[in-house]
């Protein structure tokens, strides 16, 4: 149950009150305008009636002079209604009519006048009239008027309507305000409770979303997405620190053991040297691991996003392939790059180059048989050809629709479908790989870099061997780009065939 004080203090309630005040002012203005129009209309009608009556009397005056006029007025004054008449002589004494008293000086000014008055049979002082004064020859004065009670009644009605509508508005506004405030407050309270749970350490908790799609829902959805991102980053950080704790302990222990061993070698300078060299090697490998971990963490958090630029991905891949040419030779493999020119991507050239290098390194390490093996290949028919085919590593960069496909394929043992996701985790090395150097970070980095560029990396069966495909969004090809023209031509050919 939400406390009433809290409801009254809520922004929703205060906003409702502000709207209520505005509506009340609006209602007042509208009713004021209506009242003014009605009163003006009544006044106009009264003036018209007075003018018509005055015309009639003027005719009588023209026909029979002051006597006839007095007679007609006396006759009309006796008729029921709200018409008022008064005829006075030059001394101001009443000769005929139903008006008994007027404020002093009213009869001196010809024209329309609004004035209080008393009748012969009613001396209450709240009577008002709209009247026209005429000056007649001989100092006679004629007043033709109309009682304004109807107008006063209409004005009273208007004021009552305004008061009633203000009361209704106030009640409805207050109730509406309380209802809205309650609804909003209960949702805000639910959100505060959820955020308190999150602050207490329950990172799986999320802000409630009502499903109405309103601004509170949008806010909750955005905050939930932010929480999911923070959660993912924290999990990543935790994984990195766990990895460091577990997986770096072995090489560090090895380093320590080498140093300890060296200490035991007494006096042998050569042995000391060899031990120190081994220590430096181990340290370099450790530094390499730290650098790789750092690169993965930066790619995963998107820290390098600001340094992205446009570059020719084919050129970058060829540069890496050139670097790996001697290594391929040494491994008894042929490196076959098939690269479409002019494919531009937006990204970090250094990171993408490092990913391609990791994949080529893997293909040569696990996909190409050692040269000795190639030499010892069976001499059975087709045996040499098989050995040669197995040692081929293909690198291809091509554009497929709006994406760039970078693929590295080998003919080695490949990776079982069940392990293809697992190997993307940090420090995961499969059984057959233990005899080769490495720390299990190459694929993790390549995958993180693909994600950083808005793409993805997948492992496929190359039957036999492994095919790793990195898909990245490509920048739209410039007009006249030969590769694009080739693709368009190919698409046209496909469509017509
Ligand atoms: N082309 C491949 N053919 C067969 N197995 C592979 C291939 N590439 C990777 N693997 C397997 O996946 C594991 C993870 O590869 P990853 O590149 O992440 O680490 P690594 O090569 O062992 O070490 P690092 O790349 O850090 O030097 C490897 O240990 C290996 O077992
Ligand atoms: Mg590797």
The three-state DSSP-derived secondary structure of 231-281 is: HHHHHHHHHHHHHHHHHCHHHHHHHHHHHHHHHHCCCCHHHHHHHHHHHHH
Q: Residues 13, 178: contact at Cβ < 8 Å?
A: yes
How many whole angstroms from 392 Cα to the centroid of ligand 2?
A: 18
Q: What pLDDT is attached to residue 125?
A: 67
**Beta bridge pairs of residue 280:** none
Ligand 1: atom nearest CA of 465 is 3
* 45 SS3 class: helix
Q: What tokens appear for 400 in the block? A: 């497929």
Between CA 204 and CA 194 the distance in angstroms is 10
User: What is the distance between the alpha carbons of residues 358 and 295, in angstroms, rounded to a whole number?
Assistant: 13
Ligand 1, pocket-test mutation among 442, 449, 458, 470, most atoms within 8 A of CB: 442
Q: Which of 361, 359, 366 is nearest to 432 (CA)?
A: 366
Task: List Cβ neighbours of 417 (8 Å cut-off, separation of 6 or more).
Answer: 461
pLDDT in tens, 125-135: 678 899 999 98
pLDDT in tens, 309-357: 999 999 999 999 999 999 999 888 999 999 999 999 999 999 999 999 9
Tokens of 366: 């696990």
The CA 442 to ligand 2 mean position distance, Å, reads: 4
Tell me which residues of the chain have a pLDDT lower than 50. 370-390, 479-497
Which one of 443, 466, 468 would you pick to mutate in the ligand 1 pocket, going by the greatest count of ligand atoms within 8 A of its CB?
443
pTM of the predicted protein model: 0.58
Q: Which atom of ligand 1 is nearest to the CA of 440?
A: 19
Reply yes or no: is the peptide bond before residue 464 cis, omega within 30 of 0.
yes
Cα-to-centroid distance, 256 and ligand 1 (Å) = 27
Q: How far apart are CA 366 and CA 176, in angstroms?
A: 72
What residues are in contact with ligand 1 under a 6 Å CB criterion? 358, 362-363, 366-367, 410, 412-415, 423, 428-430, 433, 438-444, 466
**Residue 496: how many other CB atoms lie within 10 Å:** 6
- Distance (angstroms) between ligand 2 centre and the Cα of 3 equals 63
Query: What pLDDT, on a 0 to 100 scale, did the predictor assign at position 388?
Result: 44
Q: What is the pLDDT of residue 477?
A: 60
Q: So what's the pLDDT on residue 154?
A: 86
**CB environment 344-358: b (16+ within 10 A), e (fewer):** bbebbbebbbbbbbb
């Amino acid at each position: 149950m939400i406390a009433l004080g809290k409801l009254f203090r809520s922004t929703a309630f205060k906003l409702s009150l502000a709207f209520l005040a505005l509506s009340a002012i609006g209602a007042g203005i509208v009713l004021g305008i209506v009242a003014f129009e009605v009163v003006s209309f009544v006044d106009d009608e009264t003036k018209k009636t007075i003018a018509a009556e005055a015309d009639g009397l003027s005719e009588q005056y023209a026909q029979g002079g002051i006597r006839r006029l007095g007679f007609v007025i006396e006759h009309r004054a006796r008729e029921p209604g709200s018409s008022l008449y008064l005829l006075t002589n030059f001394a101001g004494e009443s000769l005929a009519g139903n008006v008994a008293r007027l404020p002093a000086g009213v009869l001196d000014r010809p024209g329309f006048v609004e004035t209080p008055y008393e009748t012969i049979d009613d001396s209450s002082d709240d009577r008002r009239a709209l009247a026209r004064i005429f000056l007649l020859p001989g100092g006679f004065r004629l007043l033709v008027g109309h009682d304004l009670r109807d107008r006063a009644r209409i004005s009273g009605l208007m004021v009552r309507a305004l008061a009633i509508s203000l009361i209704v508005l106030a009640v409805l506004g207050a109730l509406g305000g309380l209802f809205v405030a309650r609804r909003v407050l209960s949702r805000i309270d639910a959100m505060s409770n959820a955020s308190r749970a999150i602050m207490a350490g329950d990172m799986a908790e999320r802000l409630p979303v009502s499903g109405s799609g309103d601004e509170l829902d949008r806010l909750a959805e955005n905050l939930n997405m932010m929480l999911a991102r923070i959660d993912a980053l924290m999990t990543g950080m935790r994984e990195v620190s766990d990895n460091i704790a577990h997986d770096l302990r072995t090489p560090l222990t090895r380093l320590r053991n080498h140093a300890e061993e060296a200490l035991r070698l007494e006096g042998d300078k050569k042995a000391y040297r060899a031990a120190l060299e081994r220590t430096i090697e181990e340290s370099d490998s450790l530094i390499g691991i730290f650098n790789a971990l750092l690169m993965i963490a930066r790619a995963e958090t998107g820290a390098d996003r600001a340094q992205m630029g446009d570059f020719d991905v084919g050129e970058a891949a060829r540069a890496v392939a050139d670097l790996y040419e001697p290594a391929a030779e040494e491994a008894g493999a042929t490196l076959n790059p098939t690269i479409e020119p002019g494919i531009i991507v937006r990204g970090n050239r250094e990171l993408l180059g490092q990913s391609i290098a990791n994949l080529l390194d893997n293909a040569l390490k696990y996909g190409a048989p050692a040269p000795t093996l190639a030499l010892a290949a069976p001499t059975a028919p087709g045996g040499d050809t098989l050995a040669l085919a197995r040692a081929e590593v293909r690198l291809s960069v091509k554009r497929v629709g709006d994406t760039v496909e970078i693929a590295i394929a080998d003919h080695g043992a490949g990776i079982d479908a069940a392990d293809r996701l697992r190997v993307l985790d940090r420090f995961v090395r499969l059984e057959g790989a233990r005899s080769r150097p490495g720390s299990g970070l190459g694929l993790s980095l390549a995958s993180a870099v693909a994600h950083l560029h808005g793409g993805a990396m997948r492992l496929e069966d190359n039957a036999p061997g492994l095919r790793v495909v990195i898909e990245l969004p490509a920048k739209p090809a410039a007009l006249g780009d030969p590769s694009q023209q080739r693709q368009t031509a190919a698409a046209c050919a496909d469509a017509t065939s």
